[in-house]
Structure 1
């Protein structure tokens, strides 16, 4: 899979981001020198964790027939010690429905098993960056 970004002419930092058939603008905040026309650097990373946990919990609930009526996920970031090597996120999944304590236990367990959580905490990620000259 390939994700493509294209700078937006006349915008200081803005890029159009293409993922499969989806498109959104990525930009820096005003304080970062951007126009704040889209999510900033850390936002998609944090959102990926929240989306993964939400989708994983809903997938599990539907597969097991658990009566989840609604799910809202909030991701809170504390990047205050990032430069020292620690980036903290708290995800809070707020679930409504006629769920027993056992159901909540199942959903809690599966939320910790979402693939992005594993990727962020258990996998050695190797990144190769190539800066290429174009005409």
Structure 2
């Protein structure tokens, strides 16, 4: 089960994110009042989708023993008429047949993060009693 914590103090809007023993910084660009100290939240969302897609395609190709040399993914997020839209363009490098490429495109549509984003996730929010 994935666990993360996020902490923000009074420095607009740098947020320290901890995932296990790893630390990331997220921030907003200067144009939005931040200091551009790290990727913005939607950038992290795109990074997660890209990483999950690349890892899943690599795992699948290795299991099938296909000649997939590299996966490059370009992602873009935009709001279109009050709805989020993510464009994902996948470039596959390797000696792959048209059928193998088509299968990898199908697999990309069913990666765990892709499915979570498409299906939505229930988010249960509560306030801690601790005033740390």
- After superposition, the CA RMSD in angstroms is 1.9
Number of matched residues? 131
Partners of 2:78 and 2:15 lie apart in 1 by 25
Q: Greater strand share, 1 or 2?
A: 2
Unaligned runs of at least 5 residues, structure 1: none
Corresponding position: 1:125 with 2:122: yes
TM-score, length of structure 2 as denominator length: 0.88
- Tell me the TM-score normalised to structure 1 length: 0.86
Contact preservation (8 Å) 2:26, 2:38: yes
| Cα distance between partner residues in 1 of 2:39 and 2:127 | 24
| Structure 2, unaligned runs of 5 or more | none
Q: Which residue of 2 aligns with 1:106?
A: 103
What secondary structure, in the 3-state scheme, does the structure 2 residue paired with 1:103 have? helix
- Deviation >4 Å, runs of 4+: none
Supply the distance in 2 between the matched residues of 1:34 and 1:56 (Cα, whole angstroms).
34
